Amino acid sequence: MREIILYIHGITPAPYPGLHKKKYDGFHQLLSKNLKNLDCPMEFHRVDVEWGFEEQASPTEDRILSEMERWLFRKMDERPVRRKKLSWRGWLDVQRSIRNYLVLGFNDVVYYISEDGKKQVRKNVLSTLLNNLPFLKDDGDQYMLTIIAHSAGTLIAHDVLFILFGPGRQHFLTEPQDLEVLGQLQDLAGSGRLAVRRLITMGSPLAPLIVRSEELMRIIRGDGRFDGKIDEETIGIRRGAVTSRWLNFWDERDAFSYPLSFMYISRDQAVEDIPVTLGKGFPDVHRQYWYSDEIPRRVAESLAESLAEKVT
């Protein structure tokens, strides 16, 4: 089996966001160290995703996002202010912090859930994945995919998996060569030669933002009693030659992070919410998942368990 690991970052509440390679590197080093300690060395073909800002190789239009956010933030901050009392100045600082997260951070989510935004970001992520997979040849091998996603990146990961493993053959690509490769990738997923080993989500807002999809809301509503559940097999979390698992790490002090297993069928507890304590208050806590020692250790343990299991 050939192992693929895909990293997807989330919101980037910074005026001039940079590459997320340092965060990815740190997490990946801890993951590899923990796997080695478990006598479970895994060789991954690593793929790093960058979306929503201009410092990337991808030509997709989502790169305009950070430029627009900076312009909005600068214009909205150009206003006369009264600074007569210390308490008022303190409130202005709080206001600025809130505006910073709304305009430079949460707008990333708003952009992605818009029709134009999700098209461009999905195109970016799918193109990045497709153009970095070296295995598209008819050699009979099986390819195992592990995705590690944070924040809004968890929404993207969920949608990309649905495109690959869902009932339709949806795509958001336009270039003939990308469409050809995507078709091959969907064929691999359909035949079982491409499978999900682990989906790791951290600080995910997927639960409250399920309202972005009328189709998923109808599934959960069921017959009107809200007794329905989403089938996790539509995103590749299934039992086969290897049993897939979805681990969702969340900190209760993180206002952007929620449990989500209650929305899924979760056969054999395939979808698991794992509470963590990251030692920070909001909003700083939302950035701390990448720097946790516990999360890569738990992920390594889950990957080692996956390699050791015997599915009947």
Domain boundaries, the chain: 2-308
Exposure b/e, 293-311, CB count within 10 A at least 16 = b = eebbbbbbebbbebeeeee
Which pLDDT score, from 0 to 100, does residue 248 have?
A: 98
pLDDT means over runs of 10, the chain (312 residues): 91 68 96 95 90 59 60 58 52 57 59 70 81 68 92 92 83 76 86 93 92 85 84 92 93 93 94 94 88 97 88 45
User: How far is C-alpha 110 from the chain's CA centre?
Assistant: 15
DSSP letter for each residue of 35-84: HHHTT----EEEEEE--SSSSSS--SGGGHHHHHHHHHHHHHT-S-----
User: What pLDDT was estimated at residue 312?
Assistant: 42
| Among 246, 153, 145, residue whose Cα is nearest residue 194 | 145
Question: What is the C-alpha separation between 247 and 29, in angstroms, rounded?
Answer: 19
Amino acid 288: pLDDT: 94
Q: What distance in Å separates the CA atoms of residue 169 and residue 172, rounded to the nearest whole number?
A: 10
Predicted pLDDT at 146: 97
What does pTM read for this prediction? 0.84
What pLDDT, on the 0 to 100 scale, is given for residue 308? 85
Q: How much is the pLDDT for 50?
A: 87
pLDDT of residue 225: 78
Number of other residues whose CB lies within 10 A of the CB of residue 219:
16
- Asked if 136 and 45 count as a contact pair (C-beta separation under 8 A), the reply is no
What's the pLDDT at 86?
47
CATH code assigned to 2-308:
3.40.50.1820
pLDDT of residue 226: 78
